[in-house]
Structure 1
């Protein structure tokens, strides 16, 4: 069986989207380029796979791309082994051949960048309305609607292209996303928010005047402008618009990044409902949803602060005196500390009490903001610790002596 025959068998036996079919075929094409188009896949063992992996990575292929090949080829090999298409093979040569890729940078889009892109699109809308001239992104009102649909709903790019006129239900405030466009093959609905509703109403009104039928592709820029000649809007047209947004704002923007941004923003809300986020993005499992969510460091900081408050850690925090008259202290040594604390384990002055020349002295809350108060408090604490340790040691010695006497009396008796 050749690599092409392997992918043909797998694709023929599975209900796959066009995009998925392309990925599986691309994987077997990569296999054929390395081993030869006429190689039989049964003769490729694990050692050959590892040699191919090492060579292709050295040649510059990214680890993520290799993992894509490895995953899809492993799936096809498992299918062929299970169904007896490779009777002489018992072990999958692509099993556990993935590599650990570097962590990707954040895929979210900052709020300021989104606002800048939105303002630019709105400006283009006004320019076209007042001048009747074509702008950089035309018709601007249409592309503003596309932009806001991705922002508000987080749907996949291919899903937007497959939305029909009848799929938008303004009365109930829902957009139907067909299962044929989804990785999960599940049909689902997304809510229409207040900010999106008027844009969709305008789109539907213009579609009606343009003679759209109920099952026609709704987001089809070719039918709203004479500057386009295609019959159906495609991925390249949407990606072209986002490239212009990226160039204008200086921040990379794609519909998929809006999915990550929406997931992260929803998890910053007070209820942080992970199941709501999972349903809105139409994910099969929570693990996938969690991978979309970027770390919220502001929330982390708040939680850590609440923990320190609950445990009383802030009672000793050093703060800069903000009275307008900063105090300065000379550098201290252990000889400057009271005699009572010298020689006691752990009685070295804390780092935040020893200052170099010209260093602003902190105050200690809730004590009086002076080094004398801090020194006196340290003396009391050190003496208390010393007395407590001595009492515990004395108690342990007395307990040991009583146990010895009792044991001796038992044997004497």
Structure 2
């Protein structure tokens, strides 16, 4: 394949789908990732929805957007598909450049350089196959394994511990001996094994080699008791030389925290567990894109949040405003060799920084006065407007009669 791709319907937050595809993109060194998006999002899906869904997917690697959909014609009985046509049949289509220019700027940047990912997670799919029987005998076990799979993905991503899944089936063809745990174009510093029942011999070969070179391996939860689906204590012996922890959010976070590259917290110090990011190294500088990864409970009323973005190393952040195209150096702080960026983020915001090496002279200082009010709209009063075209009255299910019949 050239460009791995996914299809997201109904505005579902399929983090596992996107992350599996992004992992393949990283390891095979592909130049982009495709997604068909916006299908089945209803007729009132507005620009906020288009931006939100596009943003979180961009943070998880999507760089080629396949829009659902644009009509060739309104003729025929099959035109009840939704969302509204992204074309001239919708009155807002001339304004859609506001959305697409935003993503064009993001995708131009986030296909440059190479992704920075330190953590690899062994994919547990082959253990799931062992439990894939009828619902009566294995339904609860399958639900538990699916739950664990979703949780490890959410725990890591929402805590800004970016990772790649490692497929046991493709590992033999992509694994390379060398610095780190190298899979194709990626090299990982930590390998995490979620609860698993079976593991391949080829995977154990690679893990044992990595452990012998001082690599960090974490067994979280159940240690595989099968090798190639046959009884074996080989994984247990390996685990005795590695880190073994319970499969809990706190235990996993404590082990991966030292290698964390980016941290986003609220001003009270608590983690801001709703943001996704993608970090890329491009020559001697980096790019980081941050997006909201959880749907707001009420999209009409979303209070802004003060957050602190902490990035390993000392950088000069430059803010690229993807909605306007403006570029400006952004003030920050330096603490313990890290760059700290205080930021006021609104509900539908996303953030793109270029991180140049070295410190900036623009040290952050809290504003002495609130931002000035540039205008007020009295929404309870009528306002004037101008139509771009005549109104059309739509007969959804019309009724008629001929003569007196």
TM-score (norm 2): 0.22
Which of structures 1 and 2 has the bigger CA Rg?
1
More helix per residue: 1 or 2?
1
Q: Which has the higher contact order (CA 8 A, sep 6+)?
A: 2
